[in-house]
């Protein structure tokens, strides 16, 4: 792979978009490689992912403007679909994904971070949807996910004005969960991912599915989704071990990772 690196660190996988000369902008090749990387992850030994960008200046500076500049209407739609398909794969990936946003997260960069479960960023991070300044709409999910994350009013303001916001404002509006000095960002991301990986993996996956699927339907259907996924947990070794450790008051074991069990 030319533009994506993948590193396995225990139960945590780290995906780095590595095209620093173009501030990690997403061209078709980057999207294809990201797609392939996700397909190749071994879910039997990976419990959380971190997504970040190479270098200390940019997470992802958007979709590749050079590549988009000559697209026809049909090609534009196809390019949007290509990005959306990969981002949706990330969003529905069975395990949690943390975006460690280390600098510019503009256009497709903001959009890919929003396809992750959790966003944390460095103090120098800049978020924005500058597309209308380029004569296009956000095309990799920005018109949909930003409104769901920060509310329609704030999303419309950001998208219509194309104004970028700094890390502290992204934190204030709830776009990111936490802001760290740049040199602490990856350490914090790894710490969070390790914390997730220390919990019962099937339960964590079921939580992701329950939250994601439940948000797509009304509350009556949503609680049924929860009930089924809650019930499924009772077929796992993790539930039996986790609860008996608690009941046996084995403080040592109570907080320990229970072994991974495939369904």
**Under 8 Å between Cβ of 186 and 192:** no
- Which position among 13, 139, 201, 242 is part of the footprint of ligand CAA (CB under 6 A)? 139
Q: How many helices (H) and strands (E) are present in the chain, helices listed first? A: 12, 10
Reading phi first (left if > 0) and then psi (alpha if -120 to 50, else beta), residue 90 is in alpha
Q: Which of residues 71-100 bind ligand CAA (CB under 6 A)?
A: 83
**CA proximity to 118, closest of 196, 10, 206:** 196
Tokens matching residue 202: 């099937």
Q: State the minimum distance, in angstroms, from the CB of residue 257 to ligand CAA.
A: 39
Q: Which is nearer to ligand CAA, 106 or 175 (CB)?
A: 106
Q: Which is nearer to ligand CAA, 48 or 125 (CB)?
A: 125
Catalytic residue among 33, 75, 91, 111: 111
Catalytic residue among 2, 7, 91, 131: 131
Q: Which is nearer to ligand CAA, 13 or 108 (CB)?
A: 108
Query: What is the 8-class DSSP label of residue 63?
Result: B
Q: How far is 253 from 230, CA to CA, in rounded Å?
A: 23
- Interacting span for ligand CAA (CB under 6 A) from 7-15, 39-47, 106-114, 235-243: 106-114
Q: Which of residues 108-137 bind ligand CAA (CB under 6 A)?
A: 108, 111, 130-131, 134, 136
Does 66 bind ligand CAA (CB under 6 A)? Our answer is: yes
Number of residues interacting with ligand CAA: please give it, by CB under 6 A.
Answer: 23
- Which position among 1, 41, 65, 198 is part of the footprint of ligand CAA (CB under 6 A)? 65
Instruction: Show contacts of 144-151: CB within 8 Å, 24+ apart.
Output: 145/111, 145/114, 145/115, 146/110, 146/114, 146/175, 148/215, 149/114, 149/174, 149/175, 150/174, 150/175
Does 142 bind ligand CAA (CB under 6 A)? Our answer is: yes
Tokens matching residue 68: 């988009």
Q: Which is nearer to ligand CAA, 130 or 201 (CB)?
A: 130
The interaxial angle of helices 73-91 and 28-40, nearest 10 deg, is 30
Q: How far is 242 from 5, CA to CA, in rounded Å?
A: 35
Is 111 noted as a catalytic residue in this protein?
Answer: yes
Is 33 noted as a catalytic residue in this protein?
Answer: no
The residue ranges that bind ligand CAA (CB under 6 A) are: 22-23, 25, 61-66, 83, 104, 106-108, 111, 130-131, 134, 136, 138-140, 142
Query: What is the set of active-site residues?
Result: 111, 131
């Amino acid at each position: 792979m030319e533009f994506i690196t993948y590193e396995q660190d225990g139960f945590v996988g780290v995906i780095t978009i590595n095209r620093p000369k173009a501030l990690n902008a997403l061209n078709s090749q980057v999207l294809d490689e990201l797609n392939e990387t996700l397909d190749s992850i071994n879910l039997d030994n990976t419990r959380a992912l971190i997504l970040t960008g190479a270098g200390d200046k940019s997470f992802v500076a958007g979709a590749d403007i050079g590549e988009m500049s000559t697209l026809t209407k049909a090609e534009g739609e196809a390019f949007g679909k290509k990005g959306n398909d990969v981002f949706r794969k990330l969003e529905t990936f069975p395990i949690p994904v943390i975006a460690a946003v280390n600098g510019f997260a503009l256009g497709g960069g903001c959009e890919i971070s929003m396809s992750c479960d959790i966003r944390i960023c460095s103090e120098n991070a800049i978020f924005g949807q500058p597309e209308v300044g380029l004569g296009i709409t956000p095309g990799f999910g920005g018109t949909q996910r930003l409104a769901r994350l920060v509310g329609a009013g704030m999303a419309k303001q950001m998208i219509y004005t194309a104004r970028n916001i700094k890390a502290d404002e992204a934190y204030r509006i709830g776009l990111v969960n936490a802001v760290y000095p740049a040199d602490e960002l990856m350490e914090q991301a790894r710490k969070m991912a390790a914390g997730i990986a220390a919990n019962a993996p099937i339960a964590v996956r079921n939580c992701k599915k329950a939250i994601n699927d439940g948000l797509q339907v009304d509350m009556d259907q949503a609680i049924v989704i929860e009930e089924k996924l809650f019930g499924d947990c009772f077929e796992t070794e993790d539930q039996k071990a986790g609860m008996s450790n608690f009941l046996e008051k084995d403080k040592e074991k109570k907080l320990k990772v229970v072994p991974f069990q495939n369904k």
